[in-house]
Amino acid sequence: MKSIILVALIGIIMGVIYTYGFNNIYNVAKISLLPTGYAPVMDTIFSGLWYMAAPLAMYFVPTPGSGTIGELLASIVEMAIGGQWGALTVLEGLIQGATNEIGFFPKKSRYQAFSWSSVLTGAFFASIGGFVPSYFLYGWYKYSIDLQIVMFITGVISSLVFDGVLVKLITNLFERSLKPVIQ
């Protein structure tokens, strides 16, 4: 029961952060790039921020499925409180959460170890899980090949930086703060 409540809390908190934090920063940045023709790149530059609920849920509840449920709940909350992408947010959250778990699945020991390699592998696959549906749903395939390549590369980098490195550093801080000091 505690695990369910913890994953739900992570999903709720991240959904609120997505809607009132990341979405607003993204919108301002995207508007600023409109005159350049590179505004679509903002879709991928910030994409890693929206994948963070999954690894955080997996860190606190190290079991298969926790990342998928955490990201799904975050996307439901984001949609419910007025996220700008509407119901598609839920589909994307489900896909992003499930693909993030690829770095950890199928061994429960990988969830418990929460290693750099698992986190970064999960982040890489989350970027793929975010890019592919968006490519078709939002018509990215209509962009020039050069722009598509830039969007793919920035999406992978964003995911590795935010969903991978940043989340791992955050969880490392939790590890240090929760361990007793032995003198």
pLDDT band of 181, cuts 50, 70, 90: low
| Six token digits for residue 43 | 């879709």
List alpha helices for 34-144, DSSP H.
42-45, 53-60, 66-80, 88-100, 108-113, 116-137
Tell me: pLDDT of 183 over 80: no
pLDDT in tens, 84-115: 888 999 999 999 999 999 999 888 899 999 99
Tell me: pLDDT of 135 over 70: yes
pLDDT in tens, 136-157: 999 999 999 999 999 999 999 9
In this predicted structure, what is the pLDDT of residue 2?
87
Residues 6+ apart with CB under 8 A from 83: 15, 18, 19, 23, 75, 89
Contact 78, 125 (CB under 8 A): no
Locate tokens 């994409």: which residue?
47
